[in-house]
Structure 1
């Protein structure tokens, strides 16, 4: 068995691993093993910006409220609104649906 994997195989493996935690605490342990504290913080900031963008806050308001760079706000907005992946949108919709069921 070859230990050399394609970029897609590595990404698929990572996605499978990210699907394994059963709760928030398990996910946090996995993130802490996978990422540096700065990387976890950066991911959390991007997620926070995505949520704020869906409330209608302006880029400048988000920057002033969070301290996140306007470059990051613009990047998150681009992925939220223009890129075809729609990962932010899917996750936000799933959380909204979950919260509506509670």
Structure 2
């Protein structure tokens, strides 16, 4: 991460949010509608990949995402060290 201090402060603020309403309010100020759409799209892709019922091309067609985006989400879901998608998929299951 390029700016560890800035990211650390941002992540601390996000962790301090207590309700879904607070999260919605904060992210509505923080991100543009297009950025929020991209986040939502990636999360939807992660859920579909985790279900394992569709190909990358099918997921791309359903979500409107590129197959590159689907592949990137798949890589982070399965291979990258952060495992943030996995953390939340497991927590919400």
Same fold (TM over 0.5): yes
Residues 1:37 and 2:33 aligned together: yes
Structure 2: segments with no counterpart, 5+ residues: none
Q: TM-score, normalised by structure 2?
A: 0.91
CA RMSD, 1 decimal:
1.2
Match of 1:52 in 2: 48
SS of 2:18 mapped into structure 1: coil
Residues 1:79 and 2:67 aligned together: no
**What's the offset of the Cα at 1:9?**
1.0
Match of 2:18 in 1: 22
Residue by residue over 1:72-102, the C-alpha shift from the partner in whole angstroms, topping out at 9 and shown as x without a partner, is 1011001001111101000111111xxxxxx
Give the Cα separation in 2 of the matches to 1:14 and 1:91: 19
SS of 2:17 mapped into structure 1: coil
Report the count of equivalent residues. 91
Decide which structure has the larger Cα Rg and report it: 1
Structure 1: segments with no counterpart, 5+ residues: 1-5, 97-102
Q: TM-score, normalised by structure 1?
A: 0.84
